[in-house]
Chain A
Amino acid sequence: MSQGEAGLAASPFMRQRLGALADRAVSQREAGLAASIKERKRKSWWRSDMLLAILVLSPSIIAVAVFIYSFIGWTFYISTVKWNSQVPDYTFVGLTNWVRLLGDNRFHIDLRNLVYYAIGFMSQCIIFGFIIAALLDQKIKGEALFRTIIIFPFAVSGIVTGVAWRWLLQPTTGINILFANIGLESFQPLWNSHPKYGMWAVSIAAAWQMTGYVMALYLAGLRGIPHELREAAAIDGAGTLATYRYIIIPLLLPVTFTAIVLTGMNSIRVFDLVSAMSGSGPAFATDTLAFNMFQSTFGAYRYSLGAAIGSFMIILSAFLVIPYMFSMRGEVER
């Protein structure tokens, strides 16, 4: 409280100075912006280096077109034919596979699991990532050590994470032994063997791996916030919580958006973790779209059904990525 009063007493002069500084910064930036726009308008869309650019970029454009987009198209095509045995059969059957998929009980369970997993995984990554980043930003001694420890799981492969957490989340051993040792004998969850909520347990393991990455995103964002803004907020009498609520969290909105898109895409495509932890689990409790696709395609040889699941996953990811691309384009043009 005393800090706030001191800040208020000092404020008229300081505020004037800060205001002048901010005005100058804004006017400089606007001048630079106007100049760059003028320059851009003067240049025609065809520039002399355009030919070179096309020439240099074409190998990768062709590779992406062939190895990504044509195969996506191929998958969509396979999902409309009758290839449901080991022998390829290209008889066109329209949307039969899709109708079959949409009525499939396992597919419904997969969608439910996706919702559980996405909620658990995204909220853990973003909340823990932000808290750790905000704490590490407080001029901590040994920050590099904490940062390394927390981002290290990101370097571990999904299969290793799955195996380690499979031990830890055994209902009769692992973490449950630790709980029993500290007097929580009654709190013995089934974790990923739970027939209905097993997916939440998988999301714990996944968030363990991914939180460090989200933390790094937030830490970079926090370091990018100009120090004057925090000082100005402190001078205006804002406490720590108010500074975070009204200054820092709104300014980190683009980072949060990036984190949501990245973790969301991760939750759609999760495969390695569940296949190492528990497979599809009891009553498909830890089954995912990708695992279902793998089993229908290479286990049951229902290639067309597998292709339909794959295409569905692509459409789902597109709903996440396309808004992100548009927002990024806006950012670049600004």
Chain B
Amino acid sequence: MTWQRLWTRGAIYLVLIAFAAYYMIPFYVMIITGLKPYQDVNVTRMWELPRGIYLEGIIEAWQTV
């Protein structure tokens, strides 16, 4: 495997990973927000991970359905 080939393969994987990350962003936000307790849901801190796994939102959604 030549250096040039290694470079192109690396570049292809890098671009694909970047695209995959872009398509995952909304899912990331959806899922971490779903796992937060109500008082922590705040648009200014939407990127932060929840402090633990809280299922109250999901349970209530299930009961409403």
Contact = CB atoms under 8 A, between A and B. Distances in A.
11 contacts: A135-B12, A135-B16, A146-B16, A150-B20, A153-B26, A160-B30, A164-B30, A167-B43, A170-B43, A172-B44, A177-B46
Interface of B: 12-13, 15-16, 19-20, 22-27, 29-30, 33, 43-44, 46-47
Classify the interface of chain A: helix, strand, loop or mixed.
Answer: helix
B29 A149 contact: no
Interface string A142-168: 000010011011000000110011011
A164 B13 CA distance: 27
Nearest to B13: A140
Interface of A: 128, 131-132, 135-136, 138, 140, 146, 149-150, 152-153, 160-161, 164-165, 167-168, 170, 172-174, 177-178, 208, 211-212
B58 to A, nearest CB: 15
A177 B47 contact: yes
B12 A138 contact: yes
B12, B23, B33: which has the most chain A beta carbons within 10 Å? Answer: B23
B16 A168 contact: no
A168 B20 contact: no
B3 to A, nearest CB: 13
Contacts of B15: 131, 135
Given A138-B12, A178-B47, A150 B19 contact: yes
Contact of A165 (B26, B43, B44, B46): B26
Contacts of B44: 172-173, 177
A52 B27 CA distance: 50
B44 to A, nearest CB: 5
